[in-house]
Structure 1
Amino acid sequence: HGRAAVVDAPVSGGTRGATGGTLAIMAGGAADDFRRLEPFFAAMGTTVRHMGALGSGSLAKACNQLIVGTTTAALAEAAELAERSGMDPAALFDVLAGGLAGSRVLENVGPRLVRKDYIPTGPAKFMHKDLSFVLESAEAAGAAVPMATAGVELYAELRRQGLGDKDLAVVRQAISNLSDNTDNAGAAETATKGTAAP
């Protein structure tokens, strides 16, 4: 009787990577099992790595999502700050792309953030799930993950706003809504102070 082998092998690269065979594949499992499967992985991806024991692939994917989710949120904040300050977010992202802030995330998500194009390529609500898994993994490992903690709170707020089924770039709308609430709260506080009895 043959032995069933289990390997976890999440991927990154999106639809473009899948159709073009350029996915990044992160596999966890026994080294011998990985070696047997490596030719199949190589047909689908250009970056294929054995990350360690079973479960390591899922952890590597969680780290990927931590970076994608928090970077997208930071870009959304930058776009919103720029626009509310009278700056063109497209011009900002163009110059950022030429410096240290340039990244694959900026290249991929940046145009949708600028256009406020939230037609889903992948529902934003999944990022809340992914970052929640990061928190669970971090707790088990005894690792502090303050960015993941902040990200979970932000994407939970996004879901509360009813935006979870839209594209990940909709985090900009969630941040814009928070900005409007801050503006309204500040205006209300100013009005209250203005009418307060001496």
Structure 2
Amino acid sequence: MSNVAVIGLGIMGLPMAINLVRASHSVTGFNRSRDRIDKLVSEGGIGATSIADAVKDADVVITMVPDSPDVEGVVGGQDGVFANAKQGTLWIDASSIRPDVATRLAADAKAAGLRALDAPVSGGEQGAIDAALSIMVGGEKEDFDAAAEVLNAVGKTIVHVGPSGSGQTVKAANQLIVAVNIEVLAEAIAFLEAYGVDTDAALKVLGGGLAGSKVLDQKGQKMLDRNFDPGFRLALHHKDLGIVTSAAREANVAVPLGAVVAQLFAATVNQGDGGLDHSGLFRQVLKLSGRE
């Protein structure tokens, strides 16, 4: 099996790394906080002291960090991936970043002798734990085929969507759809509660009809319970909606619902709720309704 380096052992990166260990890959991890490295080691992985140390013997490098500048920071410089990975190493960026940055970094990787895929994921923390992520992949088809064994260890729906940057474009569309769904679900639950409806029963019947969705299935109960422990933080979804609105403007595409929801996410984050799960947008709906 492959030697895989995973850079970024956060909410998503750590369970992905653990699933790679369970699929019999040799997995070396690096993270800024040592406790996450120790957790990987306890699951059978190997801890690295730096990015350079993590990638030096890797066949595949996976980066999973929060934003475009973070990816640029881990791949660039003397201690970065590009300067220390072997020629021909397959670099898979599973972060969610700007499509133009993904395209540029893919060209930089190629110049450094690496093969690059942008492969952002959807499914949240539970999807990462269950190795059931949806993965949208941009890059060369032959590199996508070469990555199949590694991607299959962490995901369930894995699709090559086009050249470099395409994976990030599809992920932006995903985040737009999810954000709008979370907002309308929050509004619907606030509406139901205002009328004293049995909300558990209501969500059950709504979930069985055309209104049903994975967002309803995964986030409805969290809203009812006011349990916003993060599976995917509001602050990160706020960042992703910035990518959506910026890229849409550049392409002359109108996203009126996306723009409104982006403002609601921004308000929620600015009010101090950025560390909550993105279902915590429900708190904003309650505030606007005077029902918090």
TM-score, L = length of structure 2: 0.59
Give 3-state SS (helix, strand or coil) of 2:176's partner: helix
1:116–1:169 contact (8 Å) kept in structure 2: no
- Per-residue deviation, 1:89: 2.4
Q: Give matches, 1:103-122, under 5 Å.
A: 103-122=213-232
1:26–1:48 contact (8 Å) kept in structure 2: yes
2:255 counterpart residue number: 145
- Per-residue deviation, 1:98: 0.9
Q: Give matches, 1:141-180, under 5 Å.
A: 141-180=251-290
1:134 counterpart residue number: 244
Q: Which runs of 5+ in 2 are unaligned?
A: 1-86, 89-112
Partners in 1 of 2:230 and 2:158 — Cα distance?
A: 27
1:194 counterpart residue number: none
Q: Which runs of 5+ in 1 are unaligned?
A: 182-198
- Per-residue deviation, 1:8: 0.5
| Stretch of structure 1 that moved more, 144-153 or 35-44 | 35-44
Asked if 1:74 is matched to 2:184, the reply is yes
Asked if 1:61 is matched to 2:171, the reply is yes
Larger proportion of helix: 1
Q: How many residues align?
A: 181
1:135–1:145 contact (8 Å) kept in structure 2: yes
- Per-residue deviation, 1:35: 1.5
Give 3-state SS (helix, strand or coil) of 1:7's partner: strand
1:65–1:130 contact (8 Å) kept in structure 2: yes
Q: Deviations over 1:32-65 (max 9, x none)?
A: 2111112221222121101111111111111111
Larger proportion of strand: 2
Asked if 1:100 is matched to 2:210, the reply is yes
Counterpart residue identity of residue 133, structure 2: L
Asked if 1:16 is matched to 2:126, the reply is yes
- Per-residue deviation, 1:74: 0.6
- Per-residue deviation, 1:118: 1.6
Q: Give matches, 1:177-188, under 5 Å.
A: 177-180=287-290
- Per-residue deviation, 1:121: 2.1
For the pair shown, the structure with the greater C-alpha radius of gyration is 1
Counterpart residue identity of residue 170, structure 1: G
1:38 counterpart residue number: 148
Runs (4+) of structure 1 moved beyond 6 Å? none
2:159 counterpart residue number: 49
Partners in 2 of 1:16 and 1:86 — Cα distance?
A: 31
- Per-residue deviation, 1:13: 1.5
TM-score, L = length of structure 1: 0.86
1:189 counterpart residue number: none
1:85 counterpart residue number: 195
Give 3-state SS (helix, strand or coil) of 1:51's partner: strand
Partners in 2 of 1:17 and 1:120 — Cα distance?
A: 13
RMSD: 1.5
- Per-residue deviation, 1:71: 0.4
Partners in 2 of 1:124 and 1:90 — Cα distance?
A: 24
* Identity in percent: 39
Counterpart residue identity of residue 156, structure 2: T
- Per-residue deviation, 1:139: 1.4
1:161–1:174 contact (8 Å) kept in structure 2: no
Partners in 2 of 1:29 and 1:48 — Cα distance?
A: 13
